[in-house]
Homo-oligomer: A and B are copies of this chain.
């Protein structure tokens, strides 16, 4: 049982693979009469976590980040990444082959305009691009007199000799006690929406939405219990589910057959053609629908409507069972976190632990609950300067020894009753005044979000600044959103709600979000404090509006060695003391005596 089961720390790729793979791809492109090809990191569902068989960008370049796109021409190639990955791309990719470009400052469409020659034919895999996303690139090609053409099969797959097989993890039924709503009820809600929008059908392209609708889970991608598949839900008639039959036991198949006709993924085309031939009005989620599917309907004579995914919004609002499940998962997870922290407190001061040791021990503590299904993402376990990289992923190569200073660990668990995601920052040895000042400001921002009350209709963008104000007051900030949505035993990142500049969705009771302000001193150390939140109605005497607020779901001590109490207001101090008192009360019954004693001290009143 010792060691990590759900996480590996080896580098899966190296810059050295760029040269042979790029040469092989170029050869294949020549055979196909293409002057170039576009290689995004996504899969057919625009997933954040993709199966190994879809890691084409990593195979080609060595880049292992969660978002990126390469463009390969016969004599030039570039890789585009966002601000998170500008350092990492230079470590993982042979930049003499792939010029690194900044996605925002010098986007692909601009690069195409400056680089692609008139008369060139550039290919793209229409399964891997959204309908709107490919338009910009098409326009750029047209502008220089080149053509952007969809390919029937991906040329990388033709030359990727050891490409992993498509995943076939068994599909399981998500228990009614955790799901809280029958699939038939969800289907009825979706059909009602189709009546409202006067659509004939919706093609469900987000595999998470498919899993949510049919109350099924799987294991086709890392750390998310996600079965890959598509569905078509008509306004009238039986839904169709497109999923590889080998993933179903007889029991699962029987249960699903009552709800939908089950077909192989290859049958999707026939179904789309049928919708098209009937001149149906077909709705798509603009964010996850590939242009391949949209074009197929249109070519068959159907009408397509791309818009916001209303199923995502239904999924985002958790029901009573999901909320109860999440609360239970968080108490269990908080006890595991506390065991880890007590151990870390004893061991780290010896300066012998590494980041991987800590990530492994934390996974063990979670597995000791007996019900952990997976970690919800690879732990971000950063010591010293590695803590200053918000999206750091520890590997054997990057692994640092934990010395006196700051250690940051961002992790989560997948339990059948809920998905968790929590970050704690811990002082190893005495903290400096600067560390305490920064940590306390981050904590003040965290408390401002946790205690916020706001009227119905308020978006996540509107409250984002509450988390930043204590930092702004000192001329500081952090370069990521304050919070993201989270799934119920599903993806650790879920939309559409978020607390960030881009959070245009009004927050609704039942939504779950993270609350994770931070501060990063590049090259030195970093701080982040993350709990999960539930949006809930808030009763205020004399209120004229429907008001909302947050219930904090995560319970784990916040390191008091990093708090400067004199900076806290009376209200902030009261919040911290109450949070710690509740943490103690909830977790103590689940802990051994030694950890109880540690928790007692860690949650002392200040």
Query: A142, A543, A545: which has the most chain B beta carbons within 10 Å?
Result: A545
User: Which chain B positions have C-beta within 8 A of A281?
Assistant: 143
Whether A476 pairs with B303 at a CB distance below 8 angstroms is no
Interface 1/0 per residue, A448-459 and B, CB below 8 Å = 000011110011
Q: Which residues between 182 and 222 of chain A lie within 8 Å of chain B, taking CB atoms?
A: 198
Q: A177 an interface residue at 8 Å Cβ cutoff?
A: no
Give the Cβ gap from A473 to chain B, nearest Cβ, in Å: 6
Taking residues whose C-beta sits less than 8 angstroms from the other chain, chain A's interface range is 35 or more
**Assuming the A-B contacts A143-B198, A143-B303, A454-B468, are A545 and B477 also in contact, with contact meaning beta carbons closer than 8 angstroms in the complex?**
yes
A542 vs B476: C-alpha distance when bound (angstroms): 9
Main secondary structure of the interface of A (DSSP, over half): mixed
Q: Which residues between 435 and 470 of chain A lie within 8 Å of chain B, taking CB atoms?
A: 452-455, 458-459, 461-466, 468-469
Whether A476 pairs with B143 at a CB distance below 8 angstroms is no
Give the Cβ gap from A340 to chain B, nearest Cβ, in Å: 32
Q: Which residues between 462 and 512 of chain A lie within 8 Å of chain B, taking CB atoms?
A: 462-466, 468-469, 472-477, 501, 504
Q: A113 an interface residue at 8 Å Cβ cutoff?
A: yes
Q: Which residues between 495 and 543 of chain A lie within 8 Å of chain B, taking CB atoms?
A: 501, 504, 540-543
Kindly list the 9 A-B residue pairs having the minimum CB-CB distance in the complex, ordered from nearest. Answer: A475-B543, A475-B540, A455-B477, A461-B461, A462-B465, A462-B464, A477-B545, A463-B465, A454-B472
Residues of A within 8 A of B (CB): 113, 139, 142-143, 198, 281, 303, 305, 452-455, 458-459, 461-466, 468-469, 472-477, 501, 504, 540-545, 547
13 CB contacts below 8 A, A to B, read A113-B198, A139-B305, A143-B303, A452-B472, A453-B475, A454-B468, A455-B472, A459-B501, A461-B461, A461-B462, A474-B540, A475-B547, A501-B504
User: Which chain B positions have C-beta within 8 A of A452?
Assistant: 472
Query: A281, A463, A472: which has the most chain B beta carbons within 10 Å?
Result: A472
A454 vs B473: C-alpha distance when bound (angstroms): 8
Whether B462 pairs with A501 at a CB distance below 8 angstroms is yes
- Kindly report which residue of chain B lies nearest to residue A456, judged by CB atoms: B477
Give the Cβ gap from A280 to chain B, nearest Cβ, in Å: 11
Give the Cβ gap from A480 to chain B, nearest Cβ, in Å: 12
Given contacts A139-B305, A454-B468, A461-B462, 12 further A-B contacts (CB under 8 A): A453-B472, A453-B475, A454-B472, A455-B476, A458-B501, A459-B461, A462-B462, A463-B465, A474-B542, A476-B544, A477-B545, A501-B504
User: Which chain B positions have C-beta within 8 A of A501?
Assistant: 458-459, 461-462, 504
- Kindly report which residue of chain B lies nearest to residue A500, judged by CB atoms: B462
Whether A453 pairs with B465 at a CB distance below 8 angstroms is no
A540 vs B477: C-alpha distance when bound (angstroms): 13
User: Which chain B positions have C-beta within 8 A of A113?
Assistant: 198
A543 vs B477: C-alpha distance when bound (angstroms): 10
A477 vs B457: C-alpha distance when bound (angstroms): 11
User: Which chain B positions have C-beta within 8 A of A465?
Assistant: 454, 458, 462-463, 465-466
Give the Cβ gap from A445 to chain B, nearest Cβ, in Å: 13
- Kindly report which residue of chain B lies nearest to residue A453, judged by CB atoms: B472
User: Which chain B positions have C-beta within 8 A of A504?
Assistant: 501
Whether A303 pairs with B142 at a CB distance below 8 angstroms is yes
Give the Cβ gap from A31 to chain B, nearest Cβ, in Å: 32
**Assuming the A-B contacts A454-B465, A465-B466, are A547 and B472 also in contact, with contact meaning beta carbons closer than 8 angstroms in the complex?**
yes
Give the Cβ gap from A469 to chain B, nearest Cβ, in Å: 8
